[in-house]
Amino acid sequence: MTERSSALSSQAVLFRNASLVDGSSPQPRTGVHVLVEGDRIAQVSDAPIEAPQDARVIDLEGRTLMPGLIDCHVHVIATTADLGANALLPDALVAARATPIMKGMLMRGFTTVRDVGGADRGIQQAVAEGLFVGPRLVICGKALSQTGGHNDYRGFYDERDDQYQTRRLGSMGRICDGVESVRRAVRQEIKAGAQFIKVMANGGVSSPSDPIDFLSFSVDELRTIVEEASNAQTYVSAHLYTDEAIRRAVEAGVRSLEHCNLIEADTARLAAERGAMACPTLVTYERLKIEGADYGLKPESVAKIDDVRLAGLESLVTMREAGLEMAYGTDLLGEMHPHQSEEFVIRSQVLPPHEVIRSATSTAAKLLRMEGEIGCVAPGAWADLIVVDGNPLEDMSLLTGQGQHLSLIMQGGRAVKDRLNR
Ligand SMILES: [Zn+2]
């Protein structure tokens, strides 16, 4: 993937006396010293590190230091909850509106996000070049949807050609049907820079003609998509709600199971055995319920929210008991993006705080196949770091409030927010 040029890297920074919170343990690791050189973490030690000449030294005096957060389910191009209308906007307008969405994410402490439908390599490169301020982007290009599936916004009486949205920046997905057509779609997305493949394998809330229990794509199509993704040395992520849809996807080799609201214990165990991972996104259903209609969600979509919303917390317990790893995801649309950090608080109602944090650090990095690069404070990793005023293991709401409790946000060694005294 494209990465920031070294020209953007800055002065060495030595953090002294940090309380490290990375989700690996229920308690912070205190008295930690971390040296950042260029865009990477150079040293992490329980013993004092000697500051290199000209390094900036920051004594954190026990403040919390965390790896930059990772959200594994976002749509940076979703500038409104009316996704059909979004798909028709001019590309330039979509890119312009995506920039404050991405900046908002970074200022909430998310230094990496996985876009699961919509963002293209152009947006990714603009962030990597520093033209757009935002999280490091991992992209899949357009999500694959069957005719009448979760990315077919045409509705009952709209007979437009099904390729009208394929290359529009504001479209989350594209339509393809049949084994050869899905094969070609995967190859086209990979060629255009996709780092994994997203498939809509179940009905959805925000689309007009697919109740959530619809199974999308045939088993042969799903297997073909998985085959083509693995030929390209990557994996498939699937939009899924019902137990039947999840089981079918797991059996076809899908690795990243999005949403999973209606998963049952047997399927969760099967998924864990096969090495799949889940990416719940509970906050989006809470917000859609409260404000979806105000922000453009159509009535037929509003009527579907509770089909998945009500099962959300229970699904977390089911997956945890089955040993199915869960990464952090949010799936917010349009004006609802500012609620991104509330997923931490929602999950903490039923999961231990350090496990919730881990979902946005090491577990997320594992899902993105970027272990050791992001989601950890370790030598060699990107210097993506946040400093929190207080201990989020005791009060998860410290991660909410649009970053107001974050006194420093560092991305690739550069401080994008800094209110620590020099
Ligand atoms: Zn989504």
67-106 confidence digits (pLDDT tens): 999 999 999 999 998 999 999 999 999 999 999 999 999 9
Q: How many A from CA of 171 to the centre of ligand 1?
A: 12
pLDDT digits over 25-35, tens only? 999 999 999 99
How confident is the model at residue 300, as a pLDDT? 84
8 Å CB contact between 388 and 63: yes
Q: Closest Cα partner for 191 from 156, 162, 228, 157? A: 228
At 422 the pLDDT is: 59
The pTM of this model reads 0.96
Q: What is the mean pLDDT of the chain?
A: 95
53 CA distance to ligand 1 middle (Å) = 47
In this predicted model, what pLDDT tens digit does every residue of 324-368 receive, in sequence order? 999 999 999 999 999 999 999 999 999 999 999 999 999 999 999
pLDDT of residue 10: 72
List pLDDT tens digits, range 208-250: 888 999 999 999 999 999 999 999 999 999 999 999 999 999 9
CA of 307 to the centre of ligand 1 (A): 16
For the beta carbon of residue 104, count every other beta carbon within 10 angstroms: 19
Query: Do 227 and 179 form a contact (C-beta atoms < 8 A)?
Result: no
The first and second tokens of residue 71, run together, are 């959200």
| Cα–Cα distance measured from residue 376 to residue 85, given in angstroms and rounded to the nearest whole number | 39
CA of 415 to the centre of ligand 1 (A): 30
Write the DSSP string, 258-291: EEEEE--HHHHHHHHHTT-EEE--HHHHHHIIII
Q: Which amino acid is at 315?
A: S
Q: Which of 354, 133, 116 is nearest to 239 (CA)?
A: 116
Domain ranges of the chain: 13-68+376-418, 69-339
CA of 331 to the centre of ligand 1 (A): 5
- Averaged over 148-167, what is the pLDDT? 91
Helix-, strand-, coil-residue percentages of the chain, each rounded to 5: 35, 25, 45
The angle at the Cα of 236, spanning 324 to 68, to the nearest 5 degrees, equals 65
CA 73–ligand 1 middle distance (angstroms): 6
CATH number of 13-68+376-418: 2.30.40.10
CATH architecture under which domain 69-339 falls: Alpha-Beta Barrel (3.20)
